Structure 1
Amino acid sequence: MTLSRRNFTLFGLGTVALAACGAAPVTRSAGGGGLPADLRPTPNAAYDAWVAGFRARAPRQGISDSTLAAAFRGTGYLPGCVKRDRNQTEFKRSLEDYLSIAASDERVSKGRAAFARNANTLRTLEGQYGVDANIICAIWGLESFFGERRGDVPVISATSTLAFDGRRGAFFEKQLVAALKILQNGDITPARMTGSWAGAMGHTQFIPTSYQAFAVDFTGDGRRDIWSEDPTDALASTAAYLQRNGWQRGVRWGAEVGSGAAQGRIIQPQAGGPRFAVTRNFNVIKRYNNSDAYAIGVGHLADRIAGGGPLRTPFPPDENGLTKDDRVRLQQRLTARGFDTGGSDGVIGPKSEAAIRAYQTSIGQPATGRPSPALLRTLG
C-alpha cells in the first residue's frame, strides 16, 4: 500500500500529523524570524469585500459586533494558505517511510520524556476517560511533536482566507464561525488563537468545530485552553474525543502479528511488510485521522513510548532495490562527502534527492536524484 499526503489529514483538513508528511503547523523560527512572507496579511480588495459581507451576516449566527471587531483587528488575506491548500502534493510514502518518521528514535525519546513529565496528568486522564495514556501521548507526538510545533498562523486570518477562496468555502466559513464563537466564549484571545495554515489549533491540532464539540476544561480555570504551554486541557480534550467516539477501556489498538499482544482483524498495509491485528480501538484512532498509516503510527509510537521495541518483521527492499539500512548508509555516506541529506533516517525525501543529484553531477553521472544499489557502491 502506498500512501499519499492527502491520506494524512486531520478531521478532513490538510493539517497533517507529521511535520515531514504534509501540511504541518507553521512555526516561527527560534531566532524570531517570524512567519513566511506568504503567511502574513497581504492587501486584497476582493477579500476585504468578502469579509465585509461576512461580518454583516455573522450576527445572525450569534456573533456579537464586539467579537467581530476584536477578532478581525489586524487580520488579513494570507496567500500562503491558498497556495498550500491547492498544492497538497500527492507525495508517495510507503508505510515503512511513514513509520520511520512517526516512530523515529528522536520522537520515541521525546515521547518518553514527555510522558515522564506529564505522567500524573496522563494517568489521571486514563482513569477518567478509559483511554490508554500512551495513546494520548502518541497522538500529541504526531500532531505537534509534543507541543513543539503548535503553529503560529492566526486562525481568523487562515479560516477567513480559505472561506473567501471558495474551494472549500462552506467548510471553512463553518470553521471561521466556530473560531469566533470560541473567542466570544472567552477561551482564548484573538492574538493567542494560532495554529496551522488550515486552522487546526493547539497541542493536538483541533479544528474549531471539533474544539467546540469535544474540548474540555480539565484544569478548572474556566477556559478550554489547548494553546498554552500547559498541555493538560489539550490532552484531556483528545481523551474526551476518543472516548466519545467509542474507545473501549482496556482494549489495545492492535499489535504486530506474531507478537502475541492482540487479536483482531488482520491488515497488511504494505505488501511484504509486517501484518497487524487491529481492534475496534484502531478504528477509533482513525476517527482522529482517517488513515491506516496514521492509526498504526499512533499505536506503534504508543508502544515504543511504553518501552516496546521496533517492529519484528522487516519491510522488503523498495522499488529501487534498497532496504532501509541501505538508504541510511546512502544518506550517511553522502553527508560524509559534503552532500547534506538533512539526516539519516532512511527516508529519501526532497533533500536527499537534491544531495544525490549534486553527487551525481560531481562524478559526471546524469543527475536523476534516484537512489540505487549502484549509487551506494560508488560511495564505498
Structure 2
Amino acid sequence: MRKGLIGILIGAALSLSAPVMAEKPSFDNYVIGLKEEGATKGIDSLLLEQAFDGIRYRERAVKADRNQPEKRLTLDEYIPRAVPDWKVKKARRLYDEHYTVLQRIGEEYGVQPRFLVALWGVESNFGALTGNYNVVEALTTLAYDGRREAFFRKEVFAALTILQEGHIAPSDMKGSWAGAMGQCQFMPSSFISFAADGNNDGKKDIWTSKPDVFASSANYLKNAGWDSEYTWGRQVKVPEGIERELSGLGQDKAKTLAEWEGLGIRRMNNTSLPDVDINAWLIQPDDEYGRSYLVYGNYQSLMKWNRSHYFAIAVSHLADRIKSG
C-alpha cells in the first residue's frame, strides 16, 4: 500500500515538473497570427483580408516539399532532357523576336542577352510553366507545416510586401508549390531584392511582362557578380589520374587557364585552352568518369541563382546553343 502511494506521489511530481508542450494551433488560427503580425509590419488591413481570403492548407505542397525526386540522372542523361533540340530552336526564335529589348537590357546590366533567354527557358519553359498555386496559400501551408517554418514565414511577409507595393493583385499572384513566382521563378524575397521594371511602367511584373522578366534576371546576375567580358566556361578533357581534390568551386581551388593546361587539361577537340588570364575552376558533377568542365566567375553567379550544377550547366549549354545558331 505504502509503495503504491509513493509511486502515485512520484508520478504526480514528475508530471508537474515535466515541460508542457504547446499545442499546435489550427491552420485557421495560424493564419490569424500571420494577419496580426502583418498588421504590426504595416501591411494594410484590407490587403491582408484579400491576400488570405479563402486560403486553405494545401497537402499537395507539403508532399511536394517532402518527396522531391531522389533518383539522379547523369549529365549525359540530363542535358538532352533539359535542353532538347526543340527548346534550342524556340530559344533562338525568341531571342530574335525580342532582340531589341534584350540588347537594351543586356547593355544596361552588363549581361549577355543569350543567358537571359537561357535562364527564361530553363526556369519556366519561356513562361509556359510558372505554377498555378496561390503563392500566399502555398507559403502559408509550408510555414504551418513547420519543417522550414522560419524560411517560409519570412517569404509570406515578403509576398505581402509585394502585394502592398502594387506590383500584382492577390488573385494573380501565382507560382510553384514552393512559392517561386513568375517567368523567372523568383521567391518573394528575391523579388524584393532583384526584380526590376524593364518597361518603365512603374511595376515589376515578372508574370506577364517579358521586359521585366529579362531586367529582373539581369539585375540578379549583375548583383551576383556577372562579368559580360567573359563566358561561363567550357567542357574539357581531363587526363587520367588527375587528383580529385583539385575539383570544386572553393576559392582555394581556382587556377589560371595556363596552370590547368600545365596539368594536362585540354578542350574537347584536344586543342589548347584559351590564352586568357582568368581564374577557372574544375568541376566534375558526376564523378571523374563523367563530364568535366572548367568554369569561370559567371558560372559561380549562376550557382548563386540555384545551387545545382545541373541547373547551371543546362542554362550554360542552352546559352551556347543560342550563340551557335
1:124 aligns with 2:104: yes
Query: Which residue is equivalent to 2:290?
Result: 273
Distance 1:78 1:225 in 2: 26
Q: Kindly report structure 1 stretches of 4+ aligned residues shifted beyond 4 Å.
A: 259-263
Query: Which residue is equivalent to 1:64?
Result: 44
Describe the SS at the equivalent of 2:324: coil
Query: Which residue is equivalent to 1:297?
Result: 314
Distance 2:76 2:125 in 1: 19
2:75–2:291 contact (8 Å) kept in structure 1:
no
Distance 1:232 1:97 in 2: 33
Point out the more displaced range, 189-198 or 92-101: 92-101
1:75–1:157 contact (8 Å) kept in structure 2:
yes
Structure 1 residue 55: Cα displacement? 1.1
Describe the SS at the equivalent of 1:306: helix
Amino acid at match of 2:151: F
Point out the more displaced range, 93-102 or 151-160: 93-102
Query: Which residue is equivalent to 2:221?
Result: 242
TM-score (norm 1): 0.67
Query: Which residue is equivalent to 1:232?
Result: 211
Query: Which residue is equivalent to 1:360?
Result: none
Amino acid at match of 2:232: W
Distance 2:157 2:284 in 1: 41
Query: Which residue is equivalent to 2:300?
Result: 283
User: Equivalent pairs: percent with the same residue?
Assistant: 41
Structure 1 residue 127: Cα displacement? 0.7
Describe the SS at the equivalent of 1:276: strand
Query: Which residue is equivalent to 2:113?
Result: 133
Higher helix proportion (structure 1 or 2): 2
2:181–2:187 contact (8 Å) kept in structure 1:
yes
* Pair 261,294 (structure 1): closer, same or farther in 2 beyond 3 Å: farther
Amino acid at match of 2:284: Q
1:254–1:261 contact (8 Å) kept in structure 2:
no
Which of 149, 167, 172 aligns to 1:169? It is: 149
Amino acid at match of 1:267: I
Unaligned runs of 5+ in 2: 1-24, 237-266
Distance 1:275 1:177 in 2: 41
Structure 1 residue 112: Cα displacement? 1.1
1:254–1:279 contact (8 Å) kept in structure 2:
yes
1:85 aligns with 2:65: yes
Higher gyration radius (CA) = 2
Structure 1 residue 101: Cα displacement? 1.6
Distance 2:63 2:177 in 1: 10
* Pair 261,128 (structure 1): closer, same or farther in 2 beyond 3 Å: farther
Distance 2:171 2:82 in 1: 31
2:155–2:187 contact (8 Å) kept in structure 1:
yes
Query: Which residue is equivalent to 2:78?
Result: 98
Query: Which residue is equivalent to 1:323?
Result: none
Q: Spell out, residue by residue over 1:36-68, the C-alpha distance to the aligned partner (whole angstroms, 9 max, x if none).
A: xxxxxxxxx821111012212221222121110
RMSD: 1.6
Distance 1:87 1:252 in 2: 35
Which of 61, 73, 94 aligns to 2:53? It is: 73
Structure 1 residue 261: Cα displacement? 7.4
Distance 1:275 1:80 in 2: 37
1:265–1:277 contact (8 Å) kept in structure 2:
yes
1:253 aligns with 2:232: yes
1:131–1:249 contact (8 Å) kept in structure 2:
yes
Structure 1 residue 87: Cα displacement? 1.0
Describe the SS at the equivalent of 1:265: strand
Describe the SS at the equivalent of 2:301: helix
Amino acid at match of 2:308: S
2:198–2:214 contact (8 Å) kept in structure 1:
no
Amino acid at match of 1:302: A
Query: Which residue is equivalent to 2:123?
Result: 143
Which of 172, 195, 205 aligns to 1:215? It is: 195
Describe the SS at the equivalent of 1:225: coil
Point out the more displaced range, 181-190 or 112-121: 112-121
Which of 18, 21, 27 aligns to 1:47? It is: 27
Query: Which residue is equivalent to 1:191?
Result: 171
1:255–1:261 contact (8 Å) kept in structure 2:
no
Describe the SS at the equivalent of 1:198: coil
